[in-house]
Amino acid sequence: MTNKLKTITLLALGLTTMNQAKSQELRKAAVHLAVQDQRIKIYTLVAPPEMFANTSHVIELAHELIVVDGQFFAPYAQQLKMLTDSLKKPVTRFYISHDHPDHYLGFGDAFPDVQVYALEETKQHIEKDGREVLKQRQEQFGGIIAKTLNVPAHAQKEGKEVIDGVTFIFERSLDNEDAVSLVIKIPEVKTYIAQDIVYNKIHLFISGNLDGWRKALRKIEHESEYKIILPGHGEPAGPSILKEDLEYLDFVDKTLAASKSKEEYKSKILAAYPDYGGEKLIDIYLAYYLKKDWKEK
């Protein structure tokens, strides 16, 4: 399937979620204080589970704010803007962790002037496809999608950097939930910003071979000095979430092999994880991303 077709069909599916949300009026995102230390605080904004529970993290340093990820739906980016305004410090860097639209599409109107950073591959991908993706989403979803896109201007390199007196470690992670993603570690507060390598009680988005994803999760497990794990979907977590996600991926493999239809697969996943949010994510990846010969009929 071409990217364009993928996007359009994806939109059609997502529309139901949006219309339901509209008719009930959108629920607000939740804000968690994930880290509180002398020199650094991290606030995590999480969209409601029915809107995919995307996270944005606001890292508050002595004189400035750093934001990680910009939401899918514009109202949550506006809520994020209210949060950063309330802290009364400038946003000096706005990071995009990877090139999936649920992380870069939402914030263009709310943060038109921030300096956007991403890995070179992510920057190039958004430069190339971002405007088209935005246009398609606008046509389908209307006002819940931002009107403008803020494209990354800065390529973040891997390595250590001291920002406002705090050491950050930037790393490139390959072949996890996306082909390329940015990981940000802050050793001083034992915090690992993993984004979509980690989901917390939200159905993981499955699109292909899961071995690389498992490898990325085990790598975090081995870095056991990190006690706070910040997911791309769902609330801030501790290291036990890594095992939970690894078990979820094993369950997915097992269930995919044992299921004869998409319906059977989905019902088994829902039965095994009844308290997980983001059920719509299963429909989307089953319909358009996950390739499998279901042997139906």
Given the complex with Zn ion, which of 60 and 196 has the nearer CB atom?
A: 196
**In the chain, what are the helix, strand and coil shares in percent, each to the nearest 5?**
40, 25, 35
Contacts to Zn ion by CB under 5 A: 100, 102, 196, 232
Min dist CB 232 to Zn ion, Å, is 5
Pairing of strands 65-68, 91-95: parallel
DSSP per-residue string spanning 155-178: EPPSEEEEETTEEEEEEEEESSSS
Nearer to Zn ion, 199 or 226 (CB): 199
Q: Which is nearer to Zn ion, 232 or 277 (CB)?
A: 232
Residue 175's region, left for phi above 0, alpha for psi from -120 to 50, else beta, is left
Residue 295: left (phi > 0), alpha (psi -120 to 50), or beta?
left
- DSSP for residue 39: S
Nearest-angstrom CA–CA distance, 165 and 50:
38
2 to each of 6, 24, 104, 105, how far by Cα in Å? 6, 34, 21, 20
Nearer to Zn ion among residue 53 and residue 58 (C-beta): 53
- Compute φ and ψ for 204, nearest 5 degrees: -70, 140
For residue 68, the minimal CB distance to Zn ion (Å) is: 12
Distance from C-alpha of 212 to C-alpha of 223, rounded to nearest angstrom:
17
Quote the least distance from Cβ 257 to Zn ion, whole Å: 25
Tokens 């299963």 label which residue? 282
Closest approach of Zn ion to the CB of residue 24, in Å: 23
Question: CB of 206: closest distance to Zn ion in angstroms?
Answer: 12
Beta carbon nearer to Zn ion, 100 or 201: 100
In whole angstroms, the minimum distance from the beta carbon of 194 to Zn ion comes to 12
Nearer to Zn ion, 93 or 98 (CB): 98
CB of 105 to Zn ion, least distance (A): 11
Q: 188: burial class by Cβ within 10 Å (0-12, 13-18, 19+)? A: middle
User: Among residues 49 and 232, whose Cβ is nearest to Zn ion?
Assistant: 232
Count of beta carbons in the 10 Å neighbourhood of residue 288: 18
